[in-house]
Structures are given as C-alpha cells and as structure tokens.
Amino acid sequence: MNDNKEKLLIVDGMALLFRAYFATAVTGQFMINSKGIPTNAVYGFVKHFLTAVNQFQPSHVAVCWDMGSKTFRTEMFDGYKANRPEAPIELIPQFDLVKEVVEAFDIPNIGLAGYEADDCIGTIAKEMKDAAEVIILTGDQDILQLLEENISVALLKKGYGNYLVHTHETFYEEKGITPKQMIDLKAFMGDASDNYPGVKGIGEKTALKLLQSYEHIEGVLENLHLITKGQRVKIEQDLDMLHLSRQLAEIKCDVPVACTLTDSVFRMDRNKVIEKFTEVEFRGMHKLLEDSKSFA
C-alpha cells in the first residue's frame, strides 16, 4: 500500500443508482416529491455513498457515469447490451437529479459520451494509483480486472455497509488467475448480461483451466494441439467472436477524462448539502451526514 495518506474513492455511479432504484421499485416505493419527481434511486444512492464514505474515510472522491447507451462497444458489436430493457420511466428524471446532488457535495461527476463509466473508472484509477490509494465502489464484478497494487475494489453486498473488498492478492487466491487474465476469461465464457457469447460451449470452469495452463488467449491458440478435441473445435469455430469478446470485455484505461487530487478533495459544505436535501425533500438522511467527518 501507498505510504501517503491520500485515499481516493471512485464511485461507480450507475451501479449504485440502479441498485438503489430496484431495491425499492419492486415494492412501488418511488418516493415521489411535491414536484412530482421520483427520488427513490437518488435517496438510495446517497445512502450507499455516505455509508461507504463513513466506512472507508476517503480524503478524495470522484463519481463516474455512463453518458448514454451508444458507445464504441455498440459500434463494434451491435448486439452489445441489446438485451437490456429501456430504463424504467420513474428512473429517467433521476439521472440528472443524482448528478445535481453529487455536485452539492462538491464532488466531480465524470463521464464521456462514447464510453462507459467503467472506462472512466479504469482511466482515473490507473492515473491516480501512484498518488493515492484507490478504492473503487461498485456492484459490478467486471471492475475486478482493474485490481493491482494500490487499486482495490469494494463490491456492494446486500443491504447497506456490506462490502466484499478485493485486492489483487485476494482475487488470485479465489480465482487462481490474475485480475488482468479476467479479460481473457470473459472472452472465452462470454457475458450474458452484456449480451456477447464468447466461445459457445466453454464455461467458466474450462476457461479458468485453459488460462491457468496457457496464460492468455494467444497461449491457448498456440497450444490447441494439446487440448481436447471438443474444446479445440469449439474455439476454432468461434475464433472471431473470441477476439471480439476480448475487446468488448476489456476496460479502456486511456479515455480522455481527467481527475486530479485537487479536483477530488472531499470537503463537503454541510449547509449546501442540507439545502439540497431539503430542496429534493429527503428525510432521515441527517444522521448519516452527521457521522461523516468530511465537512469543510
């Protein structure tokens, strides 16, 4: 770990917002305020956010967002995420509202059209890892490919304040491969939630074995004569999709976004935050706010 005291929390805004929305929408608790705007997702987002801040005590914070559904991945493969339904109507007005609330905390909102939040997270994490200890807060396992010295990932578990914190060491202990090899793992097994198939008939168990034996896709392809005939035939039949799936799976870490330590210092103005909570009509949030030690 870094000897300096700087700790940057990078929040996967989309992951927190969607999780918060679906946790309450299932019972119809949309928390519609007097302006007719649903606030359940934003309320849950703030609750997740403040709980994490109180637990991890970051000195710096940034929040990353998707900026629309069209990205370089949808251009590469038009089936990418094509199985995702449209955003629920009650969630749509909350996309802008949540960014306003984040601004009230004096935290940068970061996103770029054509890229996913993951790509912005990856870019900032890699840029900042030498200046600060980086913790990424998400519910998305794909982010685990970014793990390395000084970059850890806190995966949201059920409820509030429950996290599975992964380092590159714990990931290797659990999977038997390095975080970077996770890209090739997904290339072989595909990703049902992102709607790309990988190699048909090759699941996680087989893919892990192949990568443990031959390190990466190139290693497997160089040693096709050593693997079973069934596996060889499957890979040869889906070779183009294997290479495409790897491109889809890899988080881009050279996106033209920037976030410096100066931009992301976390010192919130209590009055400004409370004013925003009052405007949005949030109730019962003051206790979490009082627990935070990050007032300007």
State pTM to two decimals.
Answer: 0.95
- Tokens matching residue 104: 């009230």
Q: What CA–CA distance (Å, rounded) separates 291 from 286? A: 9
Give the distance from CA 80 to its chain's centroid: 17
Q: What CA–CA distance (Å, rounded) separates 52 from 109? A: 17
**What DSSP string runs through the chain?**
--SSS-EEEEEEHHHHHHHHHHHHHTTT---B-TTS-B-HHHHHHHHHHHHHHHHH--SEEEEE----S-BHHHHH-TTTTTTSPPPPTTTHHHHHHHHHHHHHTT--EE--TBS-HHHHHHHHHHHHTTTSEEEEEES-GGGGGG-BTTEEEEEE-SSSS-EEEE-HHHHHHHHSS-TTHHHHHHHHH-BTTTTB--STT--HHHHHHHHHHHSSHHHHHHTGGGS-HHHHHHHHHTHHHHHHHHHHHSPPS--S----TTTTB--B-HHHHHHHHHHHT--S-HHHHHH---B-
Q: Are 166 and 134 in the same domain?
A: yes
CB 202 within 8 A of CB 232: no
Q: Are 87 and 217 in the same domain?
A: no
- The domain total for the chain is 2
The one-letter amino acid code at 174 reads E
Q: What CA–CA distance (Å, rounded) separates 192 from 83? A: 9
Range(s) of the domain holding residue 202: 176-249
Q: Which of 254, 272, 279 is nearest to 124 (CA)?
A: 254
Q: Are 105 and 239 in the same domain?
A: no
What pLDDT does residue 105 have?
96
- Write the burial class of residue 135 (CB in 10 Å: 0-12 exposed, 13-18 middle, 19+ buried): buried
Q: What CA–CA distance (Å, rounded) separates 9 from 148? A: 15
For each of the chain's 296 residues, which pLDDT tens digit applies?
445 579 999 999 999 999 999 999 988 899 999 999 999 999 999 999 999 999 999 999 999 999 998 999 999 999 999 999 899 999 999 999 999 999 999 999 999 999 999 999 999 999 999 999 999 999 999 999 999 999 999 999 998 999 999 999 999 999 999 999 999 999 999 999 999 999 999 999 999 999 999 999 999 999 999 999 999 999 999 999 999 999 999 999 999 999 999 999 999 999 999 999 999 999 888 777 877 766 65
290 inside domain? no
142 inside domain? yes
Q: Are 104 and 224 in the same domain?
A: no
190 inside domain? yes
> For 190, phi and psi rounded to 5 degrees?
75, -175
Domain harbouring 225, CATH code: 1.10.150.20
**Counts of helices then strands in the chain (DSSP H, E):** 13, 6
Q: Are 163 and 121 in the same domain?
A: yes
What pLDDT does residue 1 have?
47
Q: Are 278 and 205 in the same domain?
A: no
What pLDDT does residue 294 have?
67
CB 86 within 8 A of CB 95: no
